Amino acid sequence: MEREFIAERQKGLQAYLDVITTHHILSNCELVKKFLDPNSYSVNYTEIALQHVSMFFRSEPKWEVAEPLKDIGWRIRKKYFLMKIKNQPKERLVLSWADLGPDKYLSDRDLQYAVKLLSSCSHPYIYKITFATANESSALVIRPFSEKGTLKDLIYKAKPKDPFLKKYCNPKKIQGLELQQIKTYGRQILEVLKFLHEKGFPYGHLHSANVMLDGDTCKLLDLENSLLGLPSFYRSYFSQFRKINTLEGVDVHCFGHLLYEMTYGRPPDTIPVESFPPAPSVFVVSVLESILTSEALKNGMPTVSRLLQMPLFSDVLLTNSEKPQFKIPTKLKEALKISKECIEKRLTEEQKLIHQHRRLTRAQSHHGSEEEKKKRKILARKKSKRSANESGEEHSAKYSNSNNSAGSGASSPLTSPSSPTPPSTAGMFKDHCSVYLYVVSLFPSAPQWCCCSQG
């Protein structure tokens, strides 16, 4: 319990927490959040998910749970279950249940309609949804299970069923993809983003674990996330940069993270990135520079169309001939547009708060630094010295003036035109100081006056 030991231990623990909270995957871990903020994370979401899934099975008896897929995702309020159809026991599906998030701006009616509409979406680079439904508090989506897993599983050589932390937090081997894979997968992802942007459908949830692999084809997952108002995986990054203020810009920024991960086999250490390690092609680096450097973040993100025209992707031939289909009724399109604007407005407000907080923190850090403290001490000493010198000079001048006045005997104490004639001072003054004090007492509102003949 010695004070020095406790102080040293406290510093060590703070350094430990700083490392954990700046690690992107660890900082989103449920155990970390529960430790730092137990009141906000006291709910058991696995139990809530099971309750909702059980209620769903009452109305849809053809499905049944094969096994829970524990912690395969990064979200605390999203749970996964391996499913099967009773009359087709060999077919495996994945059920995901998610709570509604802070960016849910659709009305309950529009939300339910939009979520159900997702199963009708057909696109060569969007992963098929078998069934989807939503209510006023959560949503449930069923998709085919893929043994091959996601693009992130391919990069990290992980097993799809393993927990998220085990798969991606500390990979044994770090290795990027081949150049042709980077080009093909990148082109496919950009094509589907362009399709969604043209449809007016907000996404904002692109990352390598949301891209399913089907042979040599990438297929986008979790289109429902933006409808449910869930936060993006990379929100802590793009919320720091005020030029990324639209969902289209968010998608492009997230694509930059994904491209970096495909190229180098790991996410970037920090954002912005000012220097890139050697890449399979200079064209890869030119795309990364247009998205992840400080200059790009300062000027704003390129459009998806601009990225498609860059040399890395412009010569990729797409062989899939499936015609995209996703009909969104006009009324729902308008509701999605309003929802998108609300999401962007909240992002802008959050970015403004972060900017103000960073300015305040910088100012406090600057004023609290040792160098700044030394400067303030030196200035204070100089000011104190100057004041003392000025006070001494003033006192000396007044002393001299009062001496001249008392010694001449020719001049009487000075009076202002409006003041009464002072009483006789005979025998009052024993020395020059008392003359000075007497004069000052007569004219308290004009201490600059002196007793010299020039008045």
The mean pLDDT of 142-148, rounded to a whole number, is 93
Instruction: Answer yes or no: is pLDDT of 412 > 50.
Output: no
When comparing pLDDT for 275 and 372, which is higher? 275
The separation between the first and the last C-alpha atoms of the chain, rounded to the nearest angstrom, is 72
Give me the phi and psi of 212, to 5 degrees please: -85, 145
98 contacts: CB under 8 Å, gap ≥ 6:
75, 77, 78, 79, 138, 139, 224, 225, 228, 230
Classify domain 43-355 by CATH architecture.
Orthogonal Bundle (1.10)
Instruction: Answer yes or no: is pLDDT of 98 > 90.
Output: yes
Q: How many residues does the chain have?
A: 455
Q: Identify the pLDDT of residue 404.
A: 55
The 3-state secondary structure of the chain, one letter per residue: CCHHHHHHHHHHHHHHHHHHHHCHHHHCCHHHHHHHCCCCCCCCHHHHHHHHHHHHHHHCCCEEEEEEECCCCCCCCEEEEEEEECCEEEEEEEEEEEECCCCCCCCHHHHHHHHHHHHHCECCCECCCCEEEECCCEEEEEEECCCCCEHHHHHHCCCCCCCHHHHHCCCCCCCCCCHHHHHHHHHHHHHHHHHHHHHCCCCCCCCHHHEEEECCEEEECCCHHHHHCCCCCCHHHHCCCCCCCCHHHHHHHHHHHHHHHHHHCCCCCCCCCCCCCCCCCHHHHHHHHHHHCHHHHHHCCCCHHHHHCCHHHHCCCCCCCCCCECCCCHHHHHHHHHHHHHHHHHHHHHHHHHHHHHHHHHHHHHHHCHHHHHHHHHHHHHHHHHHHHHHHHHHHHHHHHHHHHHHHCCCCCCCCCCCCCCCCCCCCCCCHHHHHHHHHHHCCCCCCCCCCCCC
Q: What is the pLDDT of residues 270-319, one digit of tens each?
A: 999 999 999 999 999 999 999 999 999 999 999 999 999 999 999 999 98
Q: How confident is the model at residue 99 (pLDDT cuts 50, 70, 90)?
A: very high
Q: How confident is the model at residue 398 (pLDDT cuts 50, 70, 90)?
A: low
The mean pLDDT of 92-98, rounded to a whole number, is 95
Q: Identify the pLDDT of residue 434.
A: 53
Instruction: Answer yes or no: is pLDDT of 126 > 90.
Output: yes
Q: Identify the pLDDT of residue 393.
A: 65
Q: Identify the pLDDT of residue 154.
A: 95
* Mean predicted lDDT score pLDDT of the chain: 86
Q: Identify the pLDDT of residue 402.
A: 58
Q: What is the pLDDT of residues 175-215, one digit of tens each?
A: 999 999 999 999 999 999 999 999 999 899 999 999 999 98
Torsion of CA 230, 232, 236, 240, to 10 degrees: -100
Query: Closest by alpha carbon to 190, among 240, 237, 143, 259?
Result: 259
Give me the phi and psi of 51, to 5 degrees please: -60, -45
Asked if residue 259 lies in contact with residue 288, where contact means CB atoms within 8 angstroms, the answer is yes
Q: Identify the pLDDT of residue 367.
A: 74
Count of beta carbons in the 10 Å neighbourhood of residue 145: 19
Asked if residue 194 lies in contact with residue 303, where contact means CB atoms within 8 angstroms, the answer is no
Instruction: Answer yes or no: is pLDDT of 451 > 70.
Output: no
